[in-house]
Structure 1
């Protein structure tokens, strides 16, 4: 099995753990509240795993 085959077989939780373990950036960059709401501290802060799992489930945007 190649690495890409292994990755394709991962579920959301496994993929979330994998991404968090390899990230060298702030997970907040992927949070839905990262813009205006976050800067004003009016948005609820999400757990890192919750942010990544939600991002994985979103449709790709170019």
Structure 2
């Protein structure tokens, strides 16, 4: 028993109502960054010490 299209649409609408349109991209960015760090740690790759332009504070 899986989720059908109507159920998925209702879930998406509920998420939009709960979090709003502005918070969702921030949440997805955080989830993506966490997944990337997790994969890098499993592969044994060292963390990058240099900050990227998006990590620098805005002036």
- The TM tier, using the shorter chain, reads under 0.3
TM-score normalised per structure 2? 0.27
Ranked by relative contact order (alpha carbons within 8 Å, sequence separation 6 or more), the top structure is 1
Structure with higher helix content: 2
TM-score normalised per structure 1: 0.27
